[in-house]
Amino acid sequence: MRPPNPTRIMVFIRKFGRPVFTTHELTAISGRSSSTVIQCLNRLTQQGLLIKLYRGVWADPGLHGVSPFDIIPYLFPRQRVYVSFITALHLHGIVEQIPQVITLVSLSHSRVIHARTGVYSVHQIAPVLFDGFDWYKGEGSFLIAEPEKALIDSLYMSSRKKKQFGHFPELHFQPTFSFKKAAEWVNHIPEPNIRLYVLNKLEILRKNFI
């Protein structure tokens, strides 16, 4: 049997027109078996033509640089996640300090994923609060919380047992930021005690900003 030809697989990879792809996608488009595709991908990676980002997720650096955010939809192909908390606040220009961990919201259980592109911390949130996000307007194709929702997500999570996101770096609210809109998100919190906690925290931030 002739060994698989990685060069032919590369033709299929370039057809995606994007740097990140999965083993499953390549198997489907190429018509090759999964074992053949994986063998070719490993050889191309050894040759420096591809980068393995995570289990079953690869990148073709020949197209353009791979952002840590490019991989997000491929890390969670069966569920929706959106960027929030400190990472979203940074991308919106409210927090200057670049977070070392990319923080995400999900309806699934919380976990931490270590990939070639960085560390991704996933936090579970109540279904009623899984909203207030849209596609990022800058480079990359991923979902991100609106500035007001990212702040409320952070305050909400700070009320939980682990007290995460309770302390912020210096905040720089943009003129377009709406504390009224943020307060409206607080009303979605089902637990009365947590709702009051978040509202009080929000009011402190509003007064400090004024």
- Which DSSP string corresponds to 104-147? EEESS--EEEEETTEEEEEEE--GGG--SEEE-SSSS--EEE-H
Read off the pLDDT band of 70 (50, 70, 90).
Answer: confident
Q: How far apart are CA 124 and CA 153, in angstroms?
A: 11
Using the 8-state DSSP alphabet, how is residue 132 labeled? S
> Can you tell me whether residue 57 is helix, strand or coil?
strand
Q: Among 153, 183, 154, which Cα is nearest to 169's? A: 154
Please report the domains of the chain, with CATH numbers, ordered by start residue: 6-59 (1.10.10.10), 72-209 (no CATH)
Question: CA-to-CA distance for 112 and 124, rounded, in angstroms?
Answer: 12
Residue 162 above 80 pLDDT? no
- Give the pLDDT score at 161: 65
pLDDT category of residue 1 using cuts at 50, 70 and 90: very low
For the entire predicted model, the pTM comes to 0.89
In this predicted structure, what is the pLDDT of residue 78? 84
- The pLDDT tens digits for 24-38 are 999 999 988 999 999
The pLDDT of residue 182 is above 80? yes
Q: Which pLDDT score, from 0 to 100, does residue 67 have?
A: 87
